[in-house]
Chain A
Amino acid sequence: SQTIHQWPATLVQPVGSPLSLECTVEGTSNPNLYWYRQAAGRGLQLLFYSVGIGQISSEVPQNLSASRPQDRQFILSSKKLLLSDSGFYLCAWSVFGQGAPGANVLTFGAGSRLTVL
């Protein structure tokens, strides 16, 4: 069965420090991968998505970047964190398909809660 892992689960970082959040998926090949962010009391914002190794699409301009060095690994990074980067970061995966049962259904990880002080 497929599983998705995100780490760390919680972190507190000072302003200006770097960030690296990691996400890995097991049990599937060539998944679509996503990073979402949820600020406190707000909705889910799509940050990045990737349809393959090295292929990253950014949805909104921001202080963050994403990389996909391996098929089932997705990394969210920042060189210098801002206070506004605080939030709940969620990684998700799906398998592209046309109408197949379960196609295009996103499965989310447990999330990484980032507090920037």
Chain B
Amino acid sequence: DAKTTQPPSMDCAEGRAANLPCNHSTISGNEYVYWYRQIHSQGPQYIIHGLKNNETNEMASLIITEDRKSSTLILPHATLRDTAVYYCIVRRSYNTDKLIFGTGTRLQVFP
């Protein structure tokens, strides 16, 4: 599975959009991009995933560049409850289904 690179930390003002970048320059054609987040002392929570097209759900939007070498997770209106570590993972959908987490981005939402 391709490796990802994320900034270690980011800040965002409450109510503003939080844009979390992820580089995955070695991604292959059959690998999906997954995003999870982990609020302190809890288990990680799935947010969204995509292959090529941009995706949106009730939690966030995922923007994948045309060459698929990078993506951005967008939280449109960040709240204090969005403070967490955000993990970007790329993997194939049909292998043994392991998910290997990197170090992620620690997002701090401030009032």
| Chain A residues proximal to chain B, CB less than 8 Å | 32, 34, 36, 43-44, 46, 49, 51, 57, 59, 88, 90, 92, 94, 96-99, 103-111, 113
Please report whether the interface of chain B is mostly helix, strand, loop or mixed according to DSSP.
loop
* Contacts A43-B102, A43-B103, A105-B49; A96 near B97 (Cβ below 8 A): yes
In this complex, the interface size class of chain B, counting residues with CB under 8 Å from chain A, is: 20 to 34
CB distance from B51 to the nearest CB of A (A): 8
* Residues on B with beta carbons closer than 8 Å to the beta carbon of A59: 98
Binding site for A on B (CB under 8 A): 32, 34, 36, 38, 41-46, 49, 51, 87, 91, 93-94, 96-104
With A43-B104, A105-B49 in contact, is A94–B44 under 8 Å at CB?
no
Q: Establish whether residues B99 and A110, one from each chain, have CB atoms under 8 Å apart when the complex forms.
A: no
